[in-house]
A and B are shown apart, each in its own frame.
Chain A
């Protein structure tokens, strides 16, 4: 099982390494968002510093939509989905492999994005333990929910434009939890931060479980 998961994840990451879609398209888009927020919100009144965590996580959610779309677009052509079905891999292994690959790609993007907001929004990164836990758990949750919806887009032709509408309301708790926990880590708000991280962990656990179970009907249905 773990071998299969890693097999799928390695395949996806190798494809990303060779095509550089994430590095060449999604990452520049995310950085563009960081700029656009600066244009939209007054740069001289400290709004950006105040809102750093929230803006950061909104950008991550947008990037998640793109990365998920890409992760399943590579399965769409030439009957790859059928090949995957026939490969003998358990659907849950395919799902978890996708989740791992999406998580790794998003984590790489987030590292660059944190550096960008630290510099451009004049934010000092601290509270490393909580920040790291938040980043990992929120990303895992977004990837877990995203991978389930990604295959929906694959099954329904013309549903690509629907992915944001399906995915983003579901990720509202992730945005709330990740922003609040990051605010605490960065010292922007008082109060306990770890309960938020725990909520993100529960979210990830629930959707990993659901995704593993529900991926089979999504993938195997004629």
Chain B
């Protein structure tokens, strides 16, 4: 064994050495890509507010209430995208059995529920102005509420303490059953309200929207899809880190107990 004569610079001790010797976890869920995505979505929201509230003219039929639609349509669209992502993640989890798909499905469902809550809220605001009451059994709003409750159930299942694998399997099954229910609920509620056609949020939008109105509608859709992607990526990374933190605290606890045993045995 040869001894290297050159003096070695003292290595700075790791900031956070856990008993199991693991490296410290990242302290943030952001990366260069998500910072750009976040800046784009925030700038987009500002632009949407300016276009939706100030630049676009009031609608010929809907008047000023069309401004709510610039947010309502994007939130509901993003929510449906979210639940499709959840369903795809659920199917792929059952097939591949990888943590990635499970956590992606979970993160996407959480953001989807948030967007559904926003949709119901701004739908009710629209209702208050148009119908004079916050709630009527308008088919789209009713369907959204039923599905909102369905996915609250999905999130509640994920909060039940159990093994990671059981939780992933059970929630994957629920994610699949819930998405299949979306078209069935849509159809059923439509038929249910079929005899009571009234002014609906989507039914009255002028199909020949053009100019700044059309631009704002597409801007809203783009912005909220960007926002959705941004939130899901962060939520996914947070979920991933939570899993790592749980594993690590278990490893640390085992290592600490082992160290205690060594101390006792040592003379």
Binding site for B on A (CB under 8 A): 145, 148-149, 152, 155-159, 162, 165-166, 169-170, 172-173, 176-177, 180, 191, 195-196, 199, 202-203, 206-207, 210, 214, 217-218, 221-222
Contacts and interface: CB of A to CB of B under 8 A. Distances in A.
Given A162-B160, A173-B181, 4 more contacts: A162-B157, A169-B153, A173-B187, A214-B176
Given A176-B188, A218-B170, A169 B146 contact: yes
Contact of A159 (B157, B165, B191): B157
A199 B178 CA distance: 17
B191 A180 contact: yes
B180 A165 contact: no
21 contacts: A148-B173, A148-B177, A152-B170, A156-B167, A162-B156, A162-B157, A166-B153, A166-B156, A169-B147, A173-B185, A173-B187, A176-B191, A176-B192, A180-B191, A191-B195, A196-B191, A206-B184, A214-B173, A214-B177, A217-B173, A222-B165
Given A169-B147, A199-B187, A214-B176, A162 B169 contact: no
B150 A170 contact: yes
A220 to B, nearest CB: 9
Contacts of B104: none
Nearest to B161: A158
Nearest to A166: B153
A159 B146 CA distance: 20
B149 to A, nearest CB: 4
A221 B176 contact: no
A157 B150 CA distance: 20
Contacts of B152: 165
Contacts of B176: 210, 214
B166 interface: yes
A165 B191 CA distance: 24
B188 A173 contact: yes
B94 interface: yes
Contacts of A152: 157, 170, 173-174
B184 A173 contact: yes
B184 A203 contact: yes
A169 B188 CA distance: 13
Contacts of A162: 153, 156-157, 160
A217 B172 CA distance: 10
Contact of A206 (B153, B173, B180, B185): B180
Contacts of A217: 94, 169, 172-173
A199 B189 CA distance: 12
Interface size band for B: 20 to 34
Nearest to B159: A162
A166 B177 CA distance: 10
Contacts of B188: 172-173, 176-177, 199
A207 B180 CA distance: 9
The 9 closest A-B pairs by CB, nearest first: A173-B188, A169-B150, A166-B153, A169-B149, A176-B188, A165-B153, A221-B169, A176-B192, A214-B173
A207 B184 CA distance: 11
B162 interface: yes
Interface in B174-225: 174, 176-178, 180-181, 184-185, 187-189, 191-192, 195
B177 A156 contact: no
A208 to B, nearest CB: 12
Nearest to A200: B188
A157 B162 contact: yes
Contact of A172 (B94, B185, B195): B185
A170 B181 contact: yes
Contacts of B170: 152, 155-156, 218
A165 B169 contact: no
Contacts of A156: 157, 160, 162, 166-167, 170
Nearest to B167: A156
A145 B181 CA distance: 11
B193 to A, nearest CB: 10
Given A172-B185, A217-B173, A221-B169, A165 B146 contact: no
